[in-house]
Amino acid sequence: MLQTSESVCQPVLNFVTEGSYPEENVVSAEFPVTALAKELELISMAREQVENEISSLSSENTFDADDWIIQAKQLHADIERSRVTAREIVAQHEHTKPLQAKVEDASAKVGLIETEIAFNQAVAETLEEVQRLCQQLESGRAALVNGQITTAIDQLEATNAAIGGDSFFTNTNVMSILSLEVSRLRQEIEEALRLRWSEQLKVDRQKGEFQVTKQEGADSLENTIGALSRLDIFTSASDQFQKDITLAVIDPILLPRKDGTSHAVAVTEAGIRVESEPSKATVTETLNRMTELLNYLRQNLPISMSAALSQSFISAVSSKMIVGWLSSAIPTDLIGLDEFETTLDQVLQFTKTLESWGWSGQEELVSWVNQAPRLWLTRRRVDSLDSVRKVLAASKGTTKQVERVEIEKVSQADGALLENATNDDWDAGWDDEKQESPAEQTKAGQPEEDDHLDAWGLDEDGQEETKPDAPAPTEEDADDAWGWGDDDEDGKGVNPQPSQRAAESKPANGASPREVTLREVYTVTDIPDSVLKIIQQQIADSEDISRPPHFNSRVSSSGTGLLALPTLILAMFKATSSTFYSLKLNSGQMYLYNDSLYLAGLIRELMEEHGLSRLGSDVEALEKFGKFAYSKDMQTQSTIVTDLLDGAQGFSQCSDQPYKSECENAVSATVDRIRDVYKEWQPILSHSALLQSIGSLLSTVVSKIIIDVEDLGDISEDQSKQLVSFCNQVSKLEDLFMPDTTDDAEALPVTAVYVPNWLRFQYLVNILESSLADIKFLWLEGELGLEFSVDEVVDLIEALFAESDHRRRAISEIRRAPRG
């Protein structure tokens, strides 16, 4: 809103003159243009009033202004002069810069000249030092030429010290040149020293000679050793000397030739000379030669060198002595013990001689003497094991027949049966101990395993199953004679001892049993007797070494250790024999079987004779080893006949070509193989073992044929006839099971005794070629039910005969009829 001129002008004036802030209504009011002239007037009046007040105040405070003006002018003049002076100073300073640069340049040149002067002085001093060092080196060379090696070494060491201590030579070409010159001088000194060394210690490898040249003064061997030590080459020179003298003198003495000869040595004041021709030598002679040789070294070599020899040289000599002579001097029998005792005493005397000289390094010889009992036993062990290897390698396969005898206590009734039975009805158990079946490993994977177990007397109940048409006592005797129970390793069954079998066969009425002697012959090689001799030697020596004249021997304490060697000998036989038998002998595994059990019997007798119960486990292990060899061969033959029979392809379509030819070939090859095996094993195995082995193979064949026929779902008349033909061909193998006797010309085969499923096989042939009425009769009135189950007979009837009321009635009657 608009204000009056008076109300606006006065607040503005107050604000200008006094600085008071106008009120809010004045500030927010619009300033009128008409009040501007009035406001300017008021301000002018206020300014005049202020000026008047100032003039009034100034008139009251008067002072001398002229002086102030004069001083101000003077000050102004001084300031101007100062400005002028400053400009002059700046101008002069600009004129002094070139002069200052010249001064600095002159100073730098002076410093450079001073440095060059100092460098030149240092170079001059260095060159003077180099000249002096070169003169030292030349002086050293001159001394070396004159033979003054010690002086040359002094100069060399002084030069080395100077070069190392002078900092001017560091990282300079002069340093390289001086070092090269020092190295050359050192090399020249070393060559001169080695030449003198070789002249003072002359070793001729070609002639086998050694000589110490003694000189006095500066050329003495002691000074040479000292000079070598100062150059740190004495050790290498000493090592080379040891190698040279070892090759030239020591080795010809300590390294015997293959024929046991070595070189003699002549030791004189002039030196040592090895004889050119080798000759026979003993340990005593070798020790004496080494004593003379070492004594010469002790007397002619300085003490410092002798000490070095005793620390390493004697140790090497001791090792060569042990390897070359002492180890071979250990006797392998008691006859050489006296000589061995003498050798031990001489070795101890040799070590005492070295000890009296103050030498060391003979500790190995002393230890060897102290370990004589152990070393002798080790030598015996190595020799005995090597003897087994030699026996096997040298054997020419010579064979002989031996008789196995077993005495059994049986009842009166069983005795009468045994007297009437043939000798082949037993297997003459190898010993009175329990045994495994040799063929137990061959049964794996064969059909009708239970029948095989029965065949070998290995049924899980440890009892034989009596077969029809077979004399029960005879079969029992055959199984018991072998002593083959269930697997001994598994502990499933153990055959009774002879006394137990006699007790079991003793009649209930208390009738006293009587002894029956069973004999049988089989074939062994010459190896068991040779191995037995080795074992007997260990036992005999173990007993003799504790008696005069050997009981005072150092090795007598090893006598009991000899009794552990038979175990190792038998282990060596088992570890290596299989390869030798296979390479040298046909049917080597069967020979190994016979030899192992024969050797086990011999060892058992030896064990009982000398009371060596510790060999019991070894005998059992040897028997198991022999039976394993038997089972391995049996398994091989069983696999072969099974593979041959597989060519028939299960007799399917056996009446149709070309399958008929394949079946004929398979059956023929199988029969021929069994006959070949029989011929091969006949001269090796005992008759009962032969029959049991062939019986096992035949049982395998028969079992497979039975299974294959039973698996045929439909058998035609032609097939039936053809199967009967094949079975009859196999049945002809019955002629292999004739008793081993010539007394009874009408003796019958005992096939059923050794082929447990033989009767089952024969009944199968009867079923194949019989009518339905005949089969029913065999079941109802005969003993077919003992070999076949109802289901098996029914399956065969259904395969052979077509469906009819007659067949159904027959099957019904068979199912209802009780089994006998």
Check residue 746 and give its pLDDT: 66
Fold for the domain defined by 635-816: Tetracycline Repressor; domain 2 (1.10.357)
Region 480-506: mean pLDDT is 34
Which candidate, 354, 222, 205, 347, places its Cα nearest to that of 293? 354
Report the range out of 305-319, 496-510, 587-601 with the highest average pLDDT.
Answer: 587-601
Instruction: Find where tokens 């037995």 sit.
Output: 532
% pLDDT > 70, the chain: 82
Report the range out of 36-45, 471-480, 773-782 with the highest average pLDDT.
Answer: 773-782
Region of poorest pLDDT, from 36-45, 472-481, 742-751: 472-481
User: Could you give the CA distance from residue 456 to residue 485 in angstroms, rounded to a whole number?
Assistant: 8
Check residue 408 and give its pLDDT: 64
Q: Which residues of 470-482 are buried (b: 16+ CB within 10 A; e: fewer)?
A: bbebbbbbbbbbb
In the predicted structure, residue 103 carries a pLDDT above the cut 90 = no
- At 171, is the pLDDT very low, low, confident or very high (cuts 50, 70, 90)? low
In the predicted structure, residue 481 carries a pLDDT above the cut 70 = no
User: Could you give the CA distance from residue 363 to residue 579 in angstroms, rounded to a whole number?
Assistant: 44
Q: What one-character-per-residue DSSP string does 6-27 give?
A: HHHHHHHHHHHHT-PPPPHHHH
Rg (CA), the chain: 62
Report the range out of 123-132, 230-239, 251-260, 560-569 with the highest average pLDDT.
Answer: 560-569
271-274 vs 399-410, strand pairing mode: unpaired
In terms of DSSP H, where are the helices of 585-731? 588-610, 616-645, 659-681, 687-711, 717-731
Check residue 566 and give its pLDDT: 94
61 or 394: which carries more pLDDT confidence?
394
Give per-residue pLDDT as tens, 111-137: 888 888 888 887 777 777 777 777 877
Query: Could you give the 3-state DSSP secondary structure of residue 485?
Result: coil
User: Could you give the CA distance from residue 512 to residue 506 in angstroms, rounded to a whole number?
Assistant: 7
Give per-residue pLDDT as tens, 789-804: 889 888 888 888 888 8
Strands (E), 419-495: none
- At 621, is the pLDDT very low, low, confident or very high (cuts 50, 70, 90)? very high
Q: What angle do CA 124, 125, 129 make, to 5 degrees?
A: 115
In the predicted structure, residue 486 carries a pLDDT above the cut 70 = no
- At 717, is the pLDDT very low, low, confident or very high (cuts 50, 70, 90)? confident
Which candidate, 321, 190, 305, places its Cα nearest to that of 241? 305
User: Could you give the CA distance from residue 361 to residue 637 in angstroms, rounded to a whole number?
Assistant: 64
The token pair that represents 777 in the structure block: 């009769």
CB distance 362 to 321 below 8 Å: no
% pLDDT > 90, the chain: 23
In the predicted structure, residue 433 carries a pLDDT above the cut 70 = no
Check residue 308 and give its pLDDT: 72
Check residue 345 and give its pLDDT: 92
Check residue 538 and give its pLDDT: 92
The token pair that represents 566 in the structure block: 């038979």
Domain residue ranges in the chain: 5-59, 67-189, 392-632, 635-816
Give per-residue pLDDT as tens, 203-217: 888 888 899 888 777
DSSP state of 432: S
Q: What angle do CA 149, 154, 156 make, to 5 degrees?
A: 90
Region 619-635: mean pLDDT is 94
Give per-residue pLDDT as tens, 365-389: 999 999 999 999 999 999 999 999 9
What's the N-to-C CA distance of the chain in angstroms?
153
User: Could you give the CA distance from residue 518 to residue 68 in angstroms, rounded to a whole number?
Assistant: 172
Check residue 261 and give its pLDDT: 85
Region 594-605: mean pLDDT is 93
Query: Could you give the 3-state DSSP secondary structure of residue 265?
Result: strand
